[in-house]
A and B are shown apart, each in its own frame.
Chain A
Amino acid sequence: MLKEFYYMLLSFLTVFKHLFKRPVTLEYPEKKSEVGERFRGKPYMKGCIKCGTCIKVCPANAIKIEDNDFIFDMKKCIFCGNCSFYCPVKAIKMTQNYELATNDVNDLKLLYKIEGRENERLD
């Protein structure tokens, strides 16, 4: 009985102490939470040589290369980071951007243009 009462008083004190602590709330749209250095967010591509390694390595089949269009399908992407790891010229990078929600399905197809190698053959 006494022990229960003591614990009750203790819990009251603990709760009271929380009044003077700083709130842990992060007001999201105004302040964004910081992510780690190796965070894998929205993928980015520049300087592709069309070797096709990323297509083979992607476990979700999210990458497509059509002529000069390099397409990430964000509906399928699982952010494993394999493509950026295996890319021989380090053309693909995982950025720290994690705000990927949209109202439009077409925005989920990330399209990057492949530059400069239009007339070369791949063999």
Chain B
Amino acid sequence: MTEFGRLVLLIGDYHTPQRKADVPSCFKELLNTDKIGMVLCTGNVGSQSVAEQLRTIAGEDCHIVCGDADHDFSFPESCVTNVGDFKVGVVHGHQIVPWGDANSLVKFAGRLGVDILVTGHTHRSSIVELGGKFLINPGSVTGACNAVGEFDVTPSFMLMAVQEKSVVLYTYELKEGQTEPEVKMNELKR
């Protein structure tokens, strides 16, 4: 259970150093905060050092699931955790075909019994509400190319703040040629 006011970091698909050298430096500054109380990682960390870094952000409350490229790790396929009044599930998403399809993902959310399903794999950030569920994809934090060879990927991650019956999501994106991230805010109400 995350304390009131603490933020949940949604992040994943690093693929470092296979597809990208590192997280953008402006993201690193943002992530260097003690306000994050929980980390939910959609997988594909790429290397042990990334997994270790994630664990230093929020200590015990760090949940990493197995991505399609995490061959050398023993992360679980999925996980379910409570954030405020919400049940949140995390799964990388390569297991659910067609990839990134809301109609399929919403079924997986039902199977896990969660209100919010966090997935990755497409490397495109998105927030979808369907059939009473929220489907959230924080994108790739490094802007790595995805499994279908798309290179025009914008680096992104999300911070989630839960207040009673509502969830506020902050999406940070580093657009091409920029040095500072853009922030979008979405409020989701049950």
Q: Report if A and B associate in a common complex.
A: no
Residues of B within 8 A of A (CB): none
Residues of A within 8 A of B (CB): none
